[in-house]
Amino acid sequence: MNSLSLRPGPIALLILGLIFSLHLLASFTHEEYGRVTSISRIASKLSPNKSTFTGNAFPNDQIYSDKRANATFVILCRNNQLWDTVRSVREIEDRFNNVYHYPYVFLNEVPFTEEFKYRLSSIVSSKAEFGLIPRDHWFQPDWIDEDKAKKSRDKMQSENIIYGGSLSYRNMCRFNSGFFFRHPLMQKYKWYWRIEPDVHFHCDITFDPFRYMEEQNKIYAFTISMVEYEATIPTLWGHVRDFVQKNPQYVAKNNYMGFISDNAGEKYNLCHFWSNFEIANMEFWRGEAYMNFFEYLDSKGGFYYERWGDAPVHSIAAAIFASRDQIHFFDEIGYEHAPYTHCPKERDHWKRGRCSCNPKTNFDFDGVSCLDKYVKFIHT
């Protein structure tokens, strides 16, 4: 009787074919498996491109993991912004959070309506919490001279300065500068990603920004940088200089002063990170340096006697109290807050993110953008 002869060649081909078939099936049915085993990802590992901006590990090269940071989205919004908030949350869910499932904290100076809570809870893929802002965290302090503050508001309004006559805008800027990270619902978290109503996320975010920042020892990240309206902060830099002179121990040795000042701190060049998008470590804001800095600035009344914004306050603090390798620019995240848009332009970020924005309308190197200054500074 002849024995059955098994030839190794056909068997090997059969096994390889079976493995490839299973790979294709997994790629189509499991998004993350397809992402981390894609040819483009493997190719990027073999021949990585050099970043124009940071020189650090590339966020898009991050391998998917079930590990999550202690983080949340935070959205300051009002009941009459329901549908603008729904659109913002729907976009970040579709572009990112339907995979990562980070929680949301919604904050308001008045109680949220039942409809607001129902609509937002219905569209998120994770937990949503709705908080009331404590009165002393939001409203103008009693020690502010209202007559003096009103004269300032009226003057700015007559000069057509944006939000110049708004008291609620000033409340918001002060709250975002020194109180949101102290809200009871935020206390349990380390990281936050700020989102506002009626913003747009134009690209798939194929990595976890929280995890990236934690692993790379970052404390603050942005997508858009620009100059501030000088008329809104005429005395801010003078108070910053006074604080620094009194507290030199807080100044980081390898800081970002060269980004926010063109003459070694003599004057502020008005550059700041646009804080309607920011991802940051709240332990930095809760730390001794920033808390003392905020309390000092708050005591000067500039949030009400002028119109100090949280963007320059956060940016100046990060630039002085953090080292230059702890601030990060996320080119990969396509983001729009009208009228400005950041659209990815480096490496294959636009293609990999399946972006919907037009790179030709990118704000990054507009005349009032500070990104060019940022790029030059980090490469000095």
Maximum CA extent, the chain: 111
User: How long is the chain?
Assistant: 380
Query: Whole-angstrom Cα distance, residue 355 to residue 334?
Result: 7
278 part of the active site: yes
Residue 357, C-beta contacts closer than 8 angstroms, at least 6 positions apart: 202, 203, 334, 336, 341, 343, 344, 350
Residue 371 and residue 364 in contact, taking contact as beta carbons nearer than 8 Å:
yes
Q: Are 68 and 100 in contact (CB under 8 A)?
A: yes
How far apart are alpha carbons 95 and 353 in whole angstroms? Answer: 9
Which residues lie closer than 8 Å to 122 by C-beta, 6 or more apart? none
Cα 252 to the center of its chain, rounded Å: 22
Are the C-beta atoms of residues 202 and 355 closer than 8 Å to each other?
Answer: yes
CB within 8 Å of 244: residues ≥ 6 apart: 250, 251, 265, 320
Spot the catalytic one: 32, 146, 214, 278.
Answer: 278
- The two three-digit tokens of residue 309, written as one number: 């914004």
Residue 158 burial (CB count, 10 A)? 10
Amino acid at 1: M
| Cβ atoms 296, 239 nearer than 8 A | yes
- Kindly list the catalytic residues: 278
